[in-house]
Chain A
Amino acid sequence: MKRWLALYAAAVYLFLHLPLVILAVFSFNSSRFTVWQGFSLQWYRAIFQDQQLAESAWNSVIIAVVSTILSTAAGTLCAYGLWKRGSKLLSGSLYLSLVTPEIVMGISLLALFQWSFRWLHWRLGLYTVILAHVAFSIAYVVIVIAARLRTFSPALEEAALDLGATEWQAFRFVTLPALLPGIVAAALLALTVSFDDYVITSMVAGVDSETLPMVIYAMARRGASPVINAISALIVVVFGALVLISERVREA
């Protein structure tokens, strides 16, 4: 039985990874058709010459970095607070935010923004995307930090108090350093989740706040250009690296 299982597993892994590998391979195709006609880097060059791509990528980076900083801070503090004493309402709503379908989250945030714009006279823009991204990232951060806290002994904080530290000092000098690997892992997670988001972003982005996924989506919809293959390959490599770093850090 073991051999069948191994063969089967190989097939499934192939199913999971082959599409991406093929995508990457054809990003080096010199022809824009799906017939291999030779090796070329032209599509990669095209990426760096595309103005729209550059702007949208830059927007994505800004959104990802800012929303990650905010969500990691809020999420870490939240996980710690919940660890001290739980709150069913808060845990419940965080959990709910994870299972809420993205489209529902997107339209409800759009509804909020449009409604509030009646009084504020503002418009959709980068900031609305950032606000939205923090909203759905916090839960991820809380999960990672909460898992880390489960392996943290409360006796350490008691020892800190015993030695003269106040509660805040105990958190700052004892707990926070212990949580640092988890915080880095959570931040990397929030970064990738934010960078990749399309559904929610497309609903709450302004006209001049296009993100990279939105551009990719538009290109994919229009028809295929190997430029997308090239962007995809780059994204896969970058994301893969971030995830690997995150796993390494998490094991520290």
Chain B
Amino acid sequence: MKMASGWERLRAWFLLPAWIWMAVLFAAPFAIVVVYSLLTRGAYGGLGLPWTMENYQRLFDPLYLGIVLRSFAMAAATTAICLLLGFPLALFISRAGSRKNIYLQLVILPFWTSFLVRLYAWLFLLRDTGLINTVLQHLGLIHAPLPLLYNDGAVLLGLVYGYLPFMVLPVYATLERLDPALVEAAADLGAKPWPALLHVILPLSAPGIRAGSILVFIPALGAYLTPDLLGGGRTVLIGNLVQNQFTNARDWPFGAAISVGLMALVGLLVLLMLRSEREGLV
């Protein structure tokens, strides 16, 4: 339509910077990675022809498959724990009346401080010479430091700590929109608090739980920094594997293949999320 042409022109110019940036610094890099995943590792860590599917085949090696499965398990465990811990908190905030916003801010605030700092805080607490061990030894409860760090448990703790707000916020959003009349109707029909929770509130908060679960699972699956710092190289997840290929192992094609595989998984999960939730983020 001719009328819209003034707006159309403006819009075209306005979208240009974002288009260029996404094309050059998001799409193109990933395209290069896909290409690299099909090449062969060179003698000194470079890469070149021939074209090969070998890198993808290596993914099914028991060693690497194990890493993928462990990453899945870790992400699933993180999601489950975040749900367990986060749902009651979201419930609490949704019932806090006028102080809702403050409580919400208290959940968000630690998230927006430095991620690195928050991981380091746990290092400080869990190390052999960390605060927890020092206190326990001081109290005479233990004689040698507990190995709290550099294991799967520490990584799990770190992941939950990092991604809990991602579960709390969507669940809270759904709970907030819940019609209080529904809970009142349940009570009116004879449901005590716990059954009401189980049979009315929980099912109705399913969309929020779904959204929160995917918002936790996806970053947990691709986590790198948390397992790196808190796992100390003993807990190797997909993210660590990728980083290793591009630095120490110098096997870019293999690293690229892993990345493509990871992105495929992430893409699948996103499609799942978009299908269950009709409104997008942007």
Contacts and interface: CB of A to CB of B under 8 A. Distances in A.
Contacts of A20: 110, 113, 117-118, 121
Interface in B1-48: 6-15, 17-19, 21-22, 25-30, 32-33, 36
B224 A216 contact: no
A93 B20 CA distance: 12
Contacts of B107: 13, 16
Given A6-B92, A216-B120, A111 B115 contact: no
A48 B210 CA distance: 47
A101 B124 contact: no
B121 A111 contact: no
A181 interface: no
B170 to A, nearest CB: 14
B222 interface: yes
**Interface size bracket, A side:** 35 or more
Given A20-B113, A90-B15, A110 B259 contact: no
Given A80-B14, A104-B262, A143-B282, A112 B93 contact: no
A236 B115 CA distance: 10
Interface in B221-252: 221-225, 229, 239, 242-243, 246, 252
A81 B113 contact: no
B76 interface: no
Interface string A1-28: 1100110110011011101101100100
Interface in A195-252: 195-196, 198-199, 203, 213, 216-217, 220-221, 224, 228-229, 232, 235-236, 239-240, 243, 247
B94 to A, nearest CB: 10
A103 interface: yes
Given A82-B282, A143-B281, A236 B129 contact: no
B256 interface: yes
Interface stretch (B49-57, B62-70, B83-91): B83-91
A138 B21 contact: yes
A99 B270 contact: yes
Contact of B14 (A78, A106, A192): A78
A78 B23 CA distance: 14
Interface stretch (A39-47, A49-57, A164-172): A164-172
A1 B198 CA distance: 14
A112 B131 contact: no
Given A5-B95, A93-B22, A239 B113 contact: yes
B282 A91 contact: yes
Interface string B164-193: 100000000000000000000000000001
Interface residues of B, number: 86
A146 interface: yes
Contacts of B256: 107, 111
B72 interface: no
A251 to B, nearest CB: 10
Given A107-B243, A196-B115, A112 B92 contact: no
B190 to A, nearest CB: 16
Contacts of B153: none
A8 B88 CA distance: 8
Contact of A224 (B14, B106, B127): B127
Contacts of A182: none
Nearest to B247: A203
A240 B13 CA distance: 36
A16 B282 contact: no
A236 B111 CA distance: 10
B32 A213 contact: no
A9 B88 contact: yes
From A75, A80, A101, A196, name the one whose CB has the most chain B CB atoms within 10 angstroms: A101
Nearest to A198: B116
A168 B10 contact: yes
A165 to B, nearest CB: 11
Contact of B124 (A103, A107, A167, A229): A229
B120 A23 contact: yes
A98 B22 CA distance: 12
A77 B91 CA distance: 38
A104 B259 contact: yes
B124 A17 contact: no
Contacts of B13: 77
26 contacts: A1-B194, A5-B91, A17-B106, A17-B110, A19-B121, A19-B125, A20-B110, A74-B18, A74-B21, A77-B14, A79-B282, A81-B10, A91-B282, A94-B282, A102-B225, A104-B242, A112-B28, A142-B282, A196-B116, A216-B117, A221-B229, A229-B124, A232-B114, A235-B113, A243-B109, A243-B113
Q: Which 8 A-B pairs have the closest CB atoms?
A: A101-B222, A78-B18, A108-B29, A19-B121, A74-B17, A81-B14, A81-B15, A112-B29
